[in-house]
Amino acid sequence: MFGIYGHSRAAAICYYGLHCLQHRGQEGAGIVTVQDGEMMVHKGEGLINEVFNEQILNSLKGNRAISHVRYSTGGDGGAENVEPLVFRAKQGSMAITHDGSLENADELRDRMEEMGSIFQTNSDSEVLAHLIRRSMHTQFVDKVKESLRSLVGGFAFMVLTESQLIAASDPWGLRPLSVGRLKDGYVVTSETCAFDIVGARWVRDVKPGEMIIIDGEGLHAEPFVMGGSKNMCAMEYIYFARPDSDLNGINVHTARKRLGKQLAKEAPVDADIVVGVPDSSISAAIGYAEQSGIPYEMGLIKNKYVGRTFIQPSQELREQGVKMKLSAVRGVVENKRVVIVDDSIVRGTTIKRIITLLREAGALEVHVRISSPPLQYTCPYGIDLKTSEELLAANHDQEEIRKMLGMDSLAHISVEGLVKAVGTFNEDGSCGQCRACFNGSYPTHS
C-alpha cells in the first residue's frame, strides 16, 4: 500500500511508490485520488506498468491518494477484488485498501448480511467499509475507530475520504506500516523503501493498535485500542520485504545477512561454493559465505521479467514460473559441491527445480540451507499459507523432504536462531516477531 496527502501530483507519486512495492503483489494495482470532493479511480489486473500510463495518471487529479498492489490471500484474484475499493454514499465517499487478512471476516460478513448489507467483493476491505457505514457515531474518525475494534487478524488499513487520509495498524503490529514526510505533505507506505524514490524521509512507524489521521491541519495519532507488544511477521524479514527497507528500525538486508551467518553456525557443511536463490535469498547466502569462509558465487541467473513464484495465485502458475525464472551457470557450478541458500520451503516447487538445474549443470553435490525454520503451520494474517496440506514440513520430516527433493543434505535455521539473528525485541524483552507459521503460537489467540 502507498498513500499520500498534500502533493499536487498525488497519482504520479503513488505510481512511483507502488513500483517500489511491486514485489508485494503482482495480480493487480489501483490508485484512487480526491479533488473537489470527487473520487477518481483507476485499477486493473496485472503489473503496475500494465495498468497505468501517463495519460491515465494525468486524469487522476488531486493532492491526496491511496494505492495498492494486489496479492490475494483471501477471496480470489478477480478484477472486482483489485483495490482500493471505492464506496459512494449521500453522506460522502470513501476509498479503502489493506494489507493482511482478517480472521473474523466471514463472521462479520455473515452478521452484516443478516442485517441487510450487500457485499460486492470478497475483500476484507469491504468488511471494514460496511462496519464504518453501520456505525452510529457522528464523527467519521470515531466510526473508523469503532469499526477497527471489531477486527481480529493481521492488517494495515488505509481509508481515504474527501478531507482525510487515515492509516491503521492491527493491535499486534503484524503487518508493516510507516509514515514519511514530504516538503508539502505526508506519505504512508507498507515499506520504507518507497520513501526514497519519492524524496520522502521516514518519520515513524505506525504503532500496534494505532490510527494516523492526516488532514488539512497536519498529522496526529490516536489509539483505537491499547496495542500490545509488536509481533511483526517474521516472513517480512525472511522473504517478503525488500532488502533496502527498514522494519522496526532494522534493515532487512542486514537482518538476512545475520540469518545466513547464524545458519552457517548451526548447519556447517564441507563445500566449494555458496549460491543464493535470487533475489530474496542473496543476502542470507552472503552471510552464510562470510561466516563459513566458503566463496559466494553467482550460480543462478534470474529472468527478471518473471514474477515471484511464491505469491502466484495457483500451483500451476508457480510451477510454470519456476521453469522460466531461473537458470544455472554451468561455468560456476560444474564439478563443484554447492551450498544453495534459500529463504524457505513452502510447497517445494522452487527448490526442487533448482536442484535439478544445478545437477544438470554438473554440480557434484547440492546441500540446501534454509534461512527460516520449517513452515509447519498455516497463516491467518496475510501470507498465503492457507492449508497444512500444502506445507511440506507439516506432513514430512526433514529426512523425508531431503529424499523427496533430491538433496545431498538439508538444514533449516532454528526458531531460536531466527530470533537471535533478526534481533527484534520489545521493551519488556519479549520477541518482536510473529513466528506462528514455525511454532503454532498465534498472537491473536493468546
At residue 281, the 3 state secondary structure works out as coil
C-alpha cell read off for 165: 487520509
Peptide bond into 279 cis (omega under 30): yes
Residues 6+ away with beta carbon under 8 Å from 25:
68, 69, 70, 71, 311
C-alpha cell read off for 402: 531431503
255, amino acid identity: A
Per the annotation, where are the binding residues for [4Fe-4S] cluster?
233, 379, 434, 437
C-alpha cell read off for 5: 496527502
Q: Are 85 and 129 in contact (CB under 8 A)?
A: yes
The DSSP line for 172-229 is T--S--EEEEETTEEEEESSTHHHHHHT-EEEEEPPTTEEEEEETTEEEEEESS---S
Per the annotation, where are the binding residues?
233, 280, 342-343, 379, 434, 437
For residue 426, count CB atoms less than 10 angstroms from its CB and return exposed for 0-12, middle for 13-18, buried for 19 or more.
middle
Per the annotation, where are the binding residues for Mg(2+)?
280, 342-343
At residue 446, the 3 state secondary structure works out as coil
Q: 285-305: b or e for each residue (b if 16 or more CB lie within 10 Å)?
A: bbbbbebbebebbebbeeeee
Neighbours of 390 (CB within 10 A): 16
DSSP code of residue 314: S
